[in-house]
């Protein structure tokens, strides 16, 4: 469609500027959004995978240590000696028997203490006679070490029963050492088991102490399976690890067991076994229940799943909100009996079934990342893989709700759209102002040129065109020489002014002033500020002539400016030998703390290089802080661009508090950079009006 013939140059110019800006902003915003979305998606995937790799590595280390510890116990001569001694004593006790009152006391222990603790945790009602050891020796030991053991710290704290038996003498000899081993390694219990299956020694003294693993109530337990595997292996150095099951002697708590045979001179003496609680695994998987600090946000969690598709670690949502967790499972269609067991045992370990695609792939020994539905019926982004503990065949799943995982992507899209709209609005206003500003001088120039060229102020020149340029063309035909000369002078002056402005102000601020902004003041929510002082230059300057001192200072500051420009750091100003810089202000940078710390290290290297070239002994002292700032152009006839706010004040305070050749950072900068640089804690600095502030020193070899 043709534009109207009488459309003014101002309107044409405005339309062209708006058209070009709309197109460029639209293309830039779209490309920026697509690239940003892709980058953020990759980052979320990598974070989830990193969480899984870290947990898997820690689990492998934990179970590798358990293997080494168990084999070390099996090969320890003291364990062999203790096992022989306890077996001999146990055999001697087979000839003993309990008095009626003693038998009644043992029965009372089961009926009044142990069985009530199982209420609601087992199917049916356990019977004391079925749980107590069948052998005389087992009953005698349980009477003295369970029923009559009232040690305040726990039954394991009793070194020897006061029955004067050979068993108690052996117990007094070995128990303190074995109890220390149990506590040091974090076991729930440590067992010495005879080759016939009798548990002849236990540190924790639960109802499995003195019992048999080949007959009776414990024959179907995972401890019994671990014992049989170790005993029947017929191989020194054999090790077995059995998966978690509910273990009745530990009041149905989930327990796993390790076991290894104990040999002496090629003869099997028995088996040493350890009871592994779920607590250390829970700490690894949940990161000490600090999910948010571990980078899992509000909905992220890590869990272990066994070959039976049941959890081997507690669900985060159960720990944080048990009632809400039960409601969520009910809404997801989980059977009521399963929810009831989770409530009863107060754990999802061995109770929560997770037949999800993530769990299925992890148990197939596959690794990867997919979108899936979790056991709550919620769409998630998950990373899956094997646990690395071959004996157990567990899978590891790390997941986060899609809504939270992609919240940064959605937020980024909103910011891009908002920025594009605001930028277009600003460009529209700027284009309108520039168009008007452009035409006003032209009209004045036409009138002045007409008067100078013709010598008459009322001269009228008629040309064939129908816009403002017909006047300019008529004048230009008669005054082209003078106009060219004046134009050249004007351009030279404008270039000189522009260079001067760029030497005073940062480039983006100078451009904003050139674009017509009268008052520039910005509040930026997150930047990193550096305040540095060159120590010792005044002494150098006193020994030099003024021009030499200025030359040296220019060389040093110029070198710092070059490093700043290379690293994307914005220099704010220099005051004597002080240097103020910022990152993330006019040049957006997500990693502005890292850039500033790299600049601080380069700054120190520049000063050292200067010392080598000029045989000086200058030192630099640097303070770095991250946070919000305000910045703007200050002054009228003589102006500078300056920053202010608590962030800048604290950076300066840190610089004053630091030692020569030190780089001191605030807690805010440290928290954002501790994964990228090495720091050491420095003494707190007192800041007026703020009190003591935590600071860290960047390590010298960072």
pLDDT level of residue 168 (50, 70, 90 thresholds): very high
Side-chain half-sphere of 370: how many Cα atoms within 13 Å? 16
127 with 250, same domain: the answer is: yes
Q: How many independent structural domains does the chain possess?
A: 4
Structure token digits, residue 294: 């571990």
pLDDT: which is higher, 444 or 676: 676
List the single range of 276-280, 626-630, 677-681 with lowest mean pLDDT: 276-280
- pLDDT, residue 10, reads 65
Looking at 482, 504, 526, which one is the last position of a domain? 504
Does residue 685 sit within a domain? Answer: yes
520 with 645, same domain: the answer is: yes
Does residue 610 sit within a domain? Answer: yes
122 with 232, same domain: the answer is: yes
253 with 310, same domain: the answer is: no
497 with 534, same domain: the answer is: no
Looking at 481, 504, 527, which one is the last position of a domain? 504
Residues of the chain with pLDDT > 70: what percent? 82
Does residue 150 sit within a domain? Answer: yes
Does residue 96 sit within a domain? Answer: yes
On the question of pLDDT at 497 being above 60, the answer is no
How big is the CA angle at 420 (ends 416 and 421), to the nearest 5 degrees?
Answer: 120
On the question of pLDDT at 456 being above 50, the answer is no
Taking only Cα atoms into account, the Rg of the chain, rounded to an integer number of angstroms, comes to: 40
Average pLDDT, the chain: 85
Does residue 70 sit within a domain? Answer: no
pLDDT single digits (tens) 640-697: 778 888 999 999 999 998 899 999 999 999 999 999 999 999 888 888 878 888 999 9
Q: Is there a contact between 528 and 583 (Cβ–Cβ < 8 Å)?
A: yes
Give the range of the structural domain holding residue 370, as residue numbers without chain letter. 281-405
20 phi and psi angles, rounded to 5 deg = -65, -45
414 with 327, same domain: the answer is: no
129 with 267, same domain: the answer is: yes
Mean pLDDT of the region 262-274: 95
pLDDT single digits (tens) 344-371: 889 989 999 999 999 999 999 999 998 9
* CATH number for the domain harbouring residue 690: 3.30.70.1230
How far apart, in Å, are the Cα atoms of 411 and each of 30, 138, 186, 295, 660?
15, 67, 45, 18, 43
555 with 687, same domain: the answer is: yes
Looking at 370, 387, 405, which one is the last position of a domain? 405
Residues of the chain with pLDDT > 90: what percent? 51
169 with 294, same domain: the answer is: no
Q: How far apart are CA 533 and CA 580, in angstroms?
A: 9
> What torsion do the CA atoms of 540, 545, 546, 550 make, to the nearest 10 degrees?
-50
How many other CB atoms are there within 10 angstroms of residue 66's CB atom?
22
On the question of pLDDT at 634 being above 90, the answer is no
List the single range of 228-237, 240-249, 430-439 with lowest mean pLDDT: 430-439
CA 636 to chain centre: 47
Does residue 53 sit within a domain? Answer: no
Does residue 654 sit within a domain? Answer: yes
Write out the E strands in 139-285: 189-194, 199-202, 240-247, 253-264, 267-276
On the question of pLDDT at 457 being above 50, the answer is no
Q: Is there a contact between 436 and 17 (Cβ–Cβ < 8 Å)?
A: no
pLDDT level of residue 544 (50, 70, 90 thresholds): confident
List the single range of 63-77, 271-285, 453-467 with lowest mean pLDDT: 453-467
Q: Is there a contact between 122 and 116 (Cβ–Cβ < 8 Å)?
A: no
222 with 94, same domain: the answer is: yes
- pLDDT, residue 563, reads 92
Does residue 221 sit within a domain? Answer: yes
- pLDDT, residue 588, reads 83
Mean pLDDT of the region 209-227: 95
- pLDDT, residue 136, reads 95
- pLDDT, residue 128, reads 78
The DSSP secondary-structure symbol of 637 reads: S
């Amino acid at each position: 469609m043709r534009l109207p013939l009488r459309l003014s140059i101002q309107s044409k110019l405005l339309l062209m500027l708006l058209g070009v800006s709309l197109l460029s902003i639209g293309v830039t915003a779209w490309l920026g959004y697509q690239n940003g979305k892709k980058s953020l998606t990759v980052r979320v995937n990598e974070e989830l995978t990193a969480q899984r790799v870290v947990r898997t590595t820690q689990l492998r280390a934990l179970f590798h240590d358990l293997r080494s510890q168990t084999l070390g116990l099996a090969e320890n001569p003291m364990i062999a000696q203790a096992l022989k001694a306890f077996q001999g004593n146990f055999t001697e006790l087979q000839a003993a028997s309990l008095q009626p009152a003693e038998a009644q006391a043992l029965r009372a222990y089961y009926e009044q203490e142990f069985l009530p603790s199982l209420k609601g945790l087992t199917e049916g009602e356990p019977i004391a006679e079925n749980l107590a050891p069948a052998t005389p020796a087992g009953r005698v030991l349980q009477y003295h070490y369970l029923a009559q053991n009232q040690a305040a710290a726990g039954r394991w704290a009793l070194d020897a029963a006061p029955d004067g038996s050979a068993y108690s003498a052996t117990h007094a000899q070995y128990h303190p050492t074995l109890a220390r081993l149990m506590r040091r390694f974090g076991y729930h219990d440590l067992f010495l088991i005879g080759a016939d299956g009798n548990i002849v020694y236990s540190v924790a003294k639960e109802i499995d102490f003195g019992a048999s693993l080949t007959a009776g109530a414990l024959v179907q337990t995972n401890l019994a399976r671990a014992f049989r595997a170790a005993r029947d292996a017929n191989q020194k150095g054999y090790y077995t690890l059995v998966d978690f099951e509910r273990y009745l002697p530990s009041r149905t708590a989930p327990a796993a067991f390790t076991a290894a045979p104990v040999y002496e001179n090629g003869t099997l003496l028995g088996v040493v076994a350890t009871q592994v609680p779920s607590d250390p695994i829970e700490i690894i998987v949940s990161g000490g229940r600090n999910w948010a600090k571990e980078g899992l946000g509000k909905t992220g969690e890590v869990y272990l799943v066994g070959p039976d598709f049941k959890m081997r670690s507690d669900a985060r949502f159960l720990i944080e909100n048990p009632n809400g967790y039960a409601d969520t499972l009910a809404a997801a269609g989980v059977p009521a009996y399963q929810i009831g067991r989770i409530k009863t045992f107060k754990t999802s370990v061995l109770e929560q079934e997770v037949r999800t695609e993530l769990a299925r792939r992890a148990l197939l020994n596959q690794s990867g990342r997919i979108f899936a539905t979790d056991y709550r019926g919620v769409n998630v982004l998950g990373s899956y893989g094997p646990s690395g503990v071959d004996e157990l065949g567990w899978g590891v799943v790390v997941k986060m709700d899609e809504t939270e995982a992609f919240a940064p992507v959605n937020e980024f899209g909103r910011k891009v759209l908002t920025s594009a709209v605001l930028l277009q609005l600003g460009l529209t206003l700027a284009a309108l102002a520039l168009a008007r500003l452009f035409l006003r001088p032209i009209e004045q120039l036409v009138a002045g040129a007409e008067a100078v060229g013709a010598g008459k102020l009322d001269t009228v020149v008629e040309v064939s065109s129908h816009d403002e340029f017909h006047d300019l063309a008529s004048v230009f035909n008669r005054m082209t020489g003078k106009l060219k000369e004046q134009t050249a002078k004007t351009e030279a002056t404008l270039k000189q002014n522009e260079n001067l402005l760029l030497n005073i102000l940062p480039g983006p601020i100078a451009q904003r002033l050139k674009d017509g902004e009268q008052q520039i003041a910005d509040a930026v929510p997150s930047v990193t500020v550096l305040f540095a002082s060159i120590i010792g230059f005044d002494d150098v300057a006193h020994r030099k002539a003024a021009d030499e001192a200025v030359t040296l200072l220019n060389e040093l500051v110029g070198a710092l400016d070059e490093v700043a420009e290379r690293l994307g750091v914005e220099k704010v100003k220099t005051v004597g030998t002080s240097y103020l810089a910022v990152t993330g202000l006019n040049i957006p940078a997500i990693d502005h703390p890292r850039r500033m710390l790299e600049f601080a290290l380069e700054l120190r290297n520049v000063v050292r290089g200067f010392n080598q070239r000029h045989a000086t002994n200058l030192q630099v002292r640097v303070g770095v802080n991250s946070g919000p700032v305000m910045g703007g152009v200050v002054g009228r006839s003589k102006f500078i661009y300056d920053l202010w706010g608590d962030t800048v004040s604290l950076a300066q305070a840190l610089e004053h508090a630091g030692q020569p050749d030190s780089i001191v950072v605030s807690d805010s900068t440290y928290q954002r950079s501790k994964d990228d640089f090495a720091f050491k804690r420095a003494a707190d600095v007192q800041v007026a009006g703020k009190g003591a502030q935590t600071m860290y020193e960047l390590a010298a070899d960072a």
